[in-house]
Amino acid sequence: MLNEMTEAAFYNALTLLQRSGYEKLADLKKRHGKWSEAWQNLKAATKTNINPQAEWEKLDKSGVKLVLLEDPDYPGKLKEIPLPPFGIYHRGPLPKNELIISIVGTRKATSEGKELAKNLASALTKSGFIIVSGLALGIDGAAHEGCLSSSGVTLAVLANGLDRFYPAQNEKLAKRILNEGGAIVSEYPLGTESLPYRFLERNRIVSGLSNGTLIVEAPINSGALTTARFALEQNREVFVVPGPVSHPNFKGSLQLIRSGATLVTCADEILEAFGLEIQPVEQKEGAVTAEEEIVLQALKLNLKPADVDKIKELTNLEIRDVNRTLSFLITKNLVKETEDGYTL
């Protein structure tokens, strides 16, 4: 029976045995070359509780697939990164599209940040991007939702085995991702818990699957910053949405910008960075908020570009509300920022 089994089945057994320890797996691969050889050379007592065939059947019954680093279906971008996963578990099809961007940020996002992430994901989806994120609450979930709202394909990378969804609050979103042609992926076998260090390991896959990473709201200790660092190590683009210097959700974001990440305020700027054609976006009637309508009318009546102070004077809105509203209007391609100020 062992001779008939695939390398993937032996890898699955070994990663269960080694609790997904990357260094241990790398050592086995280096010493034995093949996962089947590594398994057969382990001491019998070491592998008593693991049956490769039985574990493979569990995987098959769960609907989870496994591709190894050497397989042609393994994501090409992941092969290029330092420490690529030896295997990727997935539910749903792995991406063939070469135009992929990850969108990540804090779990404790502001309502404005979530709306911005959703709008950016939607706009990038309409321009042909697959959206990758981590299924977390906050910015991640908003990015997945924005992609789905535009009938796009999105991938969620988890820090646990694919026999359950984490966080549980986003199980409905995960199922929608699968139902609408996306995928849930992980480097961990069934039964693996989502421990803190695994989220950090997971982040290299989020960035590694992508041409670039977009950061929306990242505090100083945000896991999104590790995703950005992985992206830089992987020679991928890093884009950051700026925000108020006094807001804690932007402390890490502004730090990234100071370190050389690309500041962006709308999807068009990301398309420009990739040398892609900017597509005009049609706006539905009524697709603006009351505050956005106030700012639009003020700019229309002013007949020339206006700075933030002038818009505050024209609208009687608070400065923070003017700045927030302008960010959304720029994202929706309803307002342009020029050297002379903001204009329609």
Residue 90 in domain:
no
Q: Residue 109's domain spans which residues?
A: 100-273
As a whole number, the mean pLDDT across the chain is 91
Average pLDDT over residues 45-52: 86
Give Cα 185 distance to the centre of its chain. 12
Q: 294 with 254, same domain?
A: no
Residue 195 in domain:
yes
Average pLDDT over residues 311-333: 83
Residue 120 in domain:
yes
- Tell me: pLDDT of 151 over 90: yes
Residue 80 in domain:
no
Q: 17 with 121, same domain?
A: no
E-state strands within 220-343: 237-240, 262-263, 336-338, 341-343
Half-sphere exposure of 187 (CA within 13 A, CB side): 24
Q: 140 with 179, same domain?
A: yes
* Residue 88's pLDDT band (cuts 50, 70, 90): very high
pLDDT score at 287: 62
The 3-state DSSP class for residue 70 equals: coil
329, 297, 295, 321: which is closest to 119 by C-alpha? 329
Q: 27 with 122, same domain?
A: no
Average pLDDT over residues 300-321: 84
Residue 285 in domain:
no
d(CA 31, CA 24) in angstroms, rounded, equals: 11
CATH (domain of 316): 1.10.10.10
d(CA 166, CA 65) in angstroms, rounded, equals: 19
Of the listed ranges 73-87, 89-103, 234-248, 298-312, the one predicted with least confidence: 298-312
Q: 267 with 338, same domain?
A: no
Furthest-apart CA atoms within the chain: distance in Å: 81
Residue 78 in domain:
no
Of the listed ranges 67-76, 135-144, 145-154, 287-296, the one predicted with least confidence: 287-296
Average pLDDT over residues 232-247: 94
Residue 144 in domain:
yes
Torsion angle of the four alpha carbons 52, 58, 61, 63, in this order, in degrees rounded to the nearest 10: -90
- Tell me: pLDDT of 281 over 70: no
> How many domains does the chain divide into?
3
Q: Is 44 exposed, middle or buried (0-12, 13-18, 19+ CB in 10 A)?
A: exposed
Residue 117 in domain:
yes
